[in-house]
Structure 1
Amino acid sequence: MSPDAASPRPDDEHGARSLWQSLRGFVVAQLPLLLLVLAALAAAYVVLQPTPPKRLTLATGGAQGAYAEFGRRYADALRAHGIEVVLRETGGAADNLALLRDAASGVDAAFVQGGSSGKRPVDEPADDGVASLGSVFHEPVWLFYREDSAKRLLGGAALTNPAQLAGWRLNVGAPGSGVPPLMHRLFDAYRVDVDALRLSQLPLTPAVVELLDGRLDALVVASAPEAPMVQMLLLTPGIALFDFAQAEALSRRFPFMTPVVLPRGVVDLAADRPPADVRLVAPAASLLARDTLHPALVQLLVQTARQVHGDAGWFQHAGEFPKPEATEWPLATEAQRVYRGGTPWLQRYLPFWAANLIDRMWLVVVSVIAIALPLSRVLPPLVEFRIRSRVFRWYAQLRAVEDAVGSRPAAELLHRLDDIDRRVEHIAVPLSYADELYALRSHIQMVRRRLQSHDRGTANTGDAS
């Protein structure tokens, strides 16, 4: 193979250079619009935060309570969406509410018992940085007592009124739970002399041990029936459950309470436990969150609540929970959207992160496109003017040379013309504008010929004279 065949040909180099110039011209024409679109999308991404955090801290309660059991179910459900749930064990509803109100606690969401806020229905919602994601389950007030204590302290009569608890060893829940303030409301309603009670505030597990060993006569727990300790006490011989015969009246006095019935035999049909319907009062437990929680996590928590609490139970029909009512806190905006519209249809076909990204960004993308389309018609003419100005600006200097013919020395004008010609040779324009560049170079040659013709005519006239 000859060296000439191996080396690139001049026309190939020229073609490559022309192609590069064309591509560069296209990029230059579209670059401002592209940068504008990217800047708008980046700003929208920062403002909307379409990608939620991958970690969520959920405050529950005692290890053997219903809050802890539901917390584990939430953690399992959210793990499938790539969200790690950190369960924080607490004393109960009061502690959970205090943690939510403290922005430095690190708690993002929590279960809180109805009535824990201390507000009345007519009160304005407190601006405490807490929002509701809905009420999620009934949390009945279970008053368990030893049957032998009733025989001993009541002379064989059954416990039918909280006022009969005078002199009883009664545990009303650990400090930080929602039970102590709730029971004090009930004591006030029944005109119970608290000083006549032998109250203790043990956590649930130690209190159950004390009750079974006979060192307590009764204990109160407010919990969903899924709590392991509640299930165990309902099946324990010698432990009776107090029947709130005035449950309906209590619900009228305390609107955060709902009268519910534990049906006969629902605990154990074969053993017929309980042997009769038991009337209870049940505050509605709410799922609360910081009002700064990422909207995507709010949406996902409400969807998870439907999955965890949506089935039929001892005190609820299928689909009854979660619901936006029966809560003392304002409902989060994103939660309202889920209750109105249900699960976004994109999540049926895409992973959560992708569906959320599209759901939160599609309106921005459409808006950017709507703005970019008119600009795409405005920017190219501006870029075209910029490219053509590389050629046209030399016509002013070429005209100046032509106008100076006859008034300035020809040698000086020819030198100036050569300088213009050299500069024009290095102008880079896309192929679509090459005709204008070649027209400029032909006009330079035309002025050169006129200048040379005028110079020869001037020289002939001088010789003749």
Structure 2
Amino acid sequence: MGSFKQNTQETFLGISETARENWGDFVQFLKEAWPLLALLLVILMGIWWYADPPPPRHVLMATGSPGGSYEDLGKKYAEFFAKKGVVLELVPSMGAEENIARLSDRKDPIQAAFVQAGVGHPKDVSGIQSLGSIGYDPIWFFYNGPELPQSDFAIVNRHAKYFSNRKISVGVKGSGTHAQAIHILTASGMDKSALQFVHLPGEQAVKALQRGEIDGTFIVDAFEAPNVQELLKDPKIHLVTFRRAAAYAKRIPYYHILDVPEGAFDLERNFPGEDIKLLATSTNLLIDDRMHPAIQFLFLEAAREINGKASFFAHRGEFPSFKDSLFPESPVAVHYEKNNYPLLSAYFPFWAAEFISRLLFVLLPFCVLAYPVLRVLPSYRMRLMYNKINRLYGTLKTYEQDLLMGFSAEKRDDYLKKLDLLEYQALNIQVSKRLAGDYYALRTSIDYVRNCLNRGMHPYQSNEEPQPYQYTDGVDPDL
């Protein structure tokens, strides 16, 4: 039994020899199988090219005017995205029409926006998809001064007693408030030429109404919006109900009817003083149709967590949904509605889940294609080695035929040089252990032909002439 030092040296020597042998086999494998490996690389590159790029870490989203619910809602979305490692930058805007215009502009970096249903129409724009509705936007009409009977707001023969000679804010042109106010006035048949409209953003309209600078204002915003809450809490401000809400909802399909019980806004002062009905549109989450699917899933997950809770007007789980989705529905949103968020997100952080998903998307198709190719590699390599050996056998056979048919003693040295060259070519063939027998059989055959040349006579013939066979009984049996 050897010493520990000897055993260690022998072990490392064995490891070194094995590594050199395996490295040599690997290099030889690359030399022989490079066409198939190149094909697999092209397939892998094609799959990777077809796959979506990694999701961006910075997304721009248009909200709306300051003081509106979209500003607060956008902040909640930004907080959700921040937890997932994505920066959601909120960009204020003048309203829904600007948001739609920026989304449809292929050069604008805005990728998502909150837009009220009915503001834009897909026939007028392109490149926009919907992730669904995420909440109700009631249509409020507040007025200042003494409380008036509802009959003063009734529209008869295109006129209403209240609206004559009063200054009314219908929102900034291009905003959702302006669009919905015009929809209602148009549907009611009111003569807008006799009305005194001003176009104030929500926050300014609230202050102007409280100071008495205007008589009334339309506001289309969520119940929780600061502008709406400020006016609902002001006892000098009154709210108009829509007695013909059902008729408006029939005429305008993306309108909903919201029931408000007596005292629901303020029990202490019993506001409203009776059950009322409000008209409402809904907020759509619109995106640039080029948005990365992973970011779309992130928006949908944020909508489910933030907007899926029960609120003053919505039931738990009512949103997100495809209510009033006038724009084409995103395939990602349709998939989400049926299957919810990808399974991996339940067990891994967003970026880890996205990386694993992309890895599976690339590797699974590649493996399906690569498996049959890799299976034929051993036989492919074996066939290459056989072909090399057989080609040298063919050359050797040609030399042997020359020796038999046209041997010349003066050309013996030329034949020997050809055989030396053939043997050199055989020595440079790299073959696996499985073909070692064929390899050495080839070299033995080359050496056999060389020995025949070195006999000093015509190969494959003896010095004596062949003698006829002598039969024992002296009789040829064929005679």
Q: TM-score range by the shorter chain?
A: 0.7 to 0.9
Question: Which of 435, 438, 441 is 1:439 aligned to?
Answer: 441
Contact 1:29 1:380 in 2 (8 A): no
Tell me the secondary structure at the aligned position of residue 110 of structure 2: coil
Q: 1:368 Cα shift?
A: 3.2
Q: 1:271 Cα shift?
A: 4.8
Alignment correspondent of 1:349:
347
Q: 1:22 Cα shift?
A: 2.2
Alignment correspondent of 1:286:
284
- The structure showing larger relative contact order (alpha-carbon pairs under 8 Å, at least 6 residues apart) is 1
**Worse overlay, 346-355 or 216-225:** 346-355
Taking the aligned partners of 1:206 and 1:58, their CA distance within structure 2 comes to: 24
Question: Which of 411, 415, 418 is 2:417 aligned to?
Answer: 415
Question: Structure 1 residues 13, 175: closer, same or farther in 2, change over 3 A?
Answer: closer
Alignment correspondent of 2:470:
none
Alignment correspondent of 1:380:
378
Tell me the secondary structure at the aligned position of residue 404 of structure 1: helix
Q: 1:283 Cα shift?
A: 0.8
Alignment correspondent of 1:208:
206
Tell me the secondary structure at the aligned position of residue 99 of structure 1: helix
Alignment correspondent of 2:57:
54
Tell me the secondary structure at the aligned position of residue 284 of structure 2: strand
1:223 maps to 2:221? yes
For 1:413, the aligned partner's letter is Y
Contact 2:153 2:163 in 1 (8 A): no
Q: 1:286 Cα shift?
A: 0.9
Alignment correspondent of 2:466:
none
Alignment correspondent of 2:477:
none
Alignment correspondent of 1:107:
110
CA deviations 1:374-408 (Å, max 9, x no partner) are: 22333332222222333332223322333333612
Q: 1:43 Cα shift?
A: 1.8
Trace 1:33-112 onto structure 2 (pairs within 5 A): 33-49=36-52, 51-112=54-115
Question: Structure 1 residues 428, 45: closer, same or farther in 2, change over 3 A?
Answer: closer
Q: 1:360 Cα shift?
A: 5.8
Taking the aligned partners of 1:308 and 1:196, their CA distance within structure 2 comes to: 43
For 2:90, the aligned partner's letter is L
**Worse overlay, 178-187 or 84-93:** 178-187
CA deviations 1:175-234 (Å, max 9, x no partner) are: 220222322222233343323322110111222221121111111110111211111111
Contact 1:21 1:431 in 2 (8 A): no
For 1:87, the aligned partner's letter is L
For 2:52, the aligned partner's letter is Q
Trace 1:10-409 onto structure 2 (pairs within 5 A): 18-28=21-31, 31-49=34-52, 51-117=54-120, 128-148=126-146, 160-161=153-154, 163=160, 164-359=162-357, 362=360, 365-405=363-403, 407-409=407-409
Contact 1:55 1:84 in 2 (8 A): yes
Tell me the secondary structure at the aligned position of residue 165 of structure 1: coil
Tell me the C-alpha RMSD between the 2 structures.
3.1
Taking the aligned partners of 1:75 and 1:314, their CA distance within structure 2 comes to: 23
CA deviations 1:277-315 (Å, max 9, x no partner) are: 332100112111122222222222222211111111111
**Worse overlay, 383-392 or 239-248:** 383-392
Aligned residues: 443
For 1:43, the aligned partner's letter is G
Taking the aligned partners of 1:184 and 1:172, their CA distance within structure 2 comes to: 8
Question: Structure 1 residues 31, 113: closer, same or farther in 2, change over 3 A?
Answer: same
Question: Structure 1 residues 223, 13: closer, same or farther in 2, change over 3 A?
Answer: closer
CA deviations 1:75-113 (Å, max 9, x no partner) are: 111222222212111111122122222222222111111
Q: 1:249 Cα shift?
A: 1.6
Contact 2:453 2:459 in 1 (8 A): no
1:453 maps to 2:434? no
Identity fraction in percent: 32
Question: Structure 1 residues 51, 158: closer, same or farther in 2, change over 3 A?
Answer: same
Tell me the secondary structure at the aligned position of residue 209 of structure 1: helix
Tell me the secondary structure at the aligned position of residue 344 of structure 2: helix
Taking the aligned partners of 2:70 and 2:459, their CA distance within structure 1 comes to: 109
**Worse overlay, 336-345 or 423-432:** 423-432
Alignment correspondent of 2:3:
none
Q: 1:259 Cα shift?
A: 0.9
Taking the aligned partners of 2:277 and 2:28, their CA distance within structure 1 comes to: 82
Question: Structure 1 residues 13, 75: closer, same or farther in 2, change over 3 A?
Answer: closer
Alignment correspondent of 1:3:
none
Taking the aligned partners of 2:170 and 2:19, their CA distance within structure 1 comes to: 87
Question: For structure 2, which runs of at least 5 residues remain unmatched after alignment?
Answer: 1-8, 464-479
Question: Structure 1 residues 359, 425: closer, same or farther in 2, change over 3 A?
Answer: closer
What TM-score do you get using the length of structure 1 for normalisation? 0.85
Q: 1:62 Cα shift?
A: 0.6
Taking the aligned partners of 1:36 and 1:90, their CA distance within structure 2 comes to: 51
Question: For structure 1, which runs of at least 5 residues remain unmatched after alignment?
Answer: 1-5
Q: 1:433 Cα shift?
A: 3.0
